[in-house]
Structure 1
Amino acid sequence: MSVFICYRHTERLYAFILNERLKLEGIDTCLEMFDAESHQTTDDVCGIFQRNIVDCTHLVMVLGSHVPDAWWLPFGLGAATLLNRRVTLYQGGDLPADYLQRWPTLSNREHIDLFVRAYHDEQTFCRAIVADEQDGRQNNRANAEFFHIDLKAKIRRGF
């Protein structure tokens, strides 16, 4: 189980903090920057997402204040949802778009701790992603929904 962390250049500090925290917990990560300044083509971005979404079990998108301008955001969310990946957002403030309310949002160190606990709970309670067979897809979808609902509730409660 690995975590794919994607971010824009302006949010790199948050992405690096999150990445280091997850590594300290023994969680395998993949860190990728998407930004116009990096001269990535649409094909580059699509290829990076396709490779990493398939290889990961969790996606964390580090969001900034200009997120609705990033076309890759809904693209990545759609790809992750289609493959029943666990999606989490990381942002310090309010989410800029209503559709982003669907997924858990981390905004501080305590929320990262809750994410780490939820990640490890999936292994403990055998809710990790299984082979892509018909039953596996249904289980993966149910387990992904459980992850999202449970983590959102823990963040709301603070534990």
Structure 2
Amino acid sequence: MPVFISYRHVDRVHAMTINTRLIQAGIKTYLDVLDPESQTTEDITEVITRNISESTHLMAIVSERTAQSWWVPFEIGEATISNRRICSFKTGPTELPLYLDKWPKLTSAKDVDFFIEAYKTEVMLKRSASLESITGNASISNYRKINADRFHADLKSRIRRGT
């Protein structure tokens, strides 16, 4: 169940910090800067879409500079299509785009810990998303969407409560 970390390269420090924290918690991640293929490919779009489809979660690092990025919204769109668990991590005082309200918004190290707990709960309950993309089977796709929505609602609630 890898977590795909989406970010604008000017926010690399935040992405690396979260990547390190997730790895310390025993969670596999995908971060393009650590992937030799993404540094040498002629088709970065194929590499990105494949790695999103091989991930179960996407965490978007969002700052005031993200608004100039085409990649972060593209990656969120790809994750949405395949019912991945999506959340954002806000790095500063910037206002987040309204479309991100649909998913949990993390703003602190404590919120990242809540994400880790929600992730591990999902693994324990075997509610995690399949690593396959949408298969065309409506019932499987609907089941994945229901579980993704449950993950989002549970994590949002936990962040709101702060416990």
Give 4+ residue runs of structure 1 displaced > 4 Å after superposition.
39-43
- Residue in 1 aligned with 2:149? 145
SS at match of 2:158: helix
In the superposition, the TM-score normalised over structure 2's length comes to 0.84
Write the deviation string for residues 69-109 of structure 1: whole angstroms up to 9, x where unpaired: 21222221111011010001111334331111111111111
Structural mapping, 1:1-159, within 5 Å: 1-32=1-32, 43-44=43-44, 46-92=45-91, 93-130=93-130, 132=135, 133-159=137-163
Query: Aligned partners of 2:71 and 2:24: how far apart in 1?
Result: 28
SS at match of 2:50: helix
Give me the identity figure in percent.
37
Structure 2 distance, partners of 1:20, 1:90, is 15
**Worse overlay, 93-102 or 6-15:** 93-102
What's the secondary structure of 1:19's corresponding residue?
Answer: helix
Q: CA RMSD in A?
A: 2.2
Contact 1:67 1:73 (C-alpha < 8 Å) held by counterparts:
yes
Structure 2 runs not aligned, ≥5 long: 34-38
**CA distance change for structure 1 residues 155 and 148 in 2, over 3 Å: closer, same or farther?**
same
Write the deviation string for residues 24-77 of structure 1: whole angstroms up to 9, x where unpaired.
1110011125xxxxx999952x22321111110000111111222212222211
Q: TM-score, normalised by structure 1?
A: 0.86
Equivalent residue of 2:31, what SS? Answer: strand
Count of residue pairs brought into register by the alignment: 153
State the SS of the aligned residue for 2:59. strand
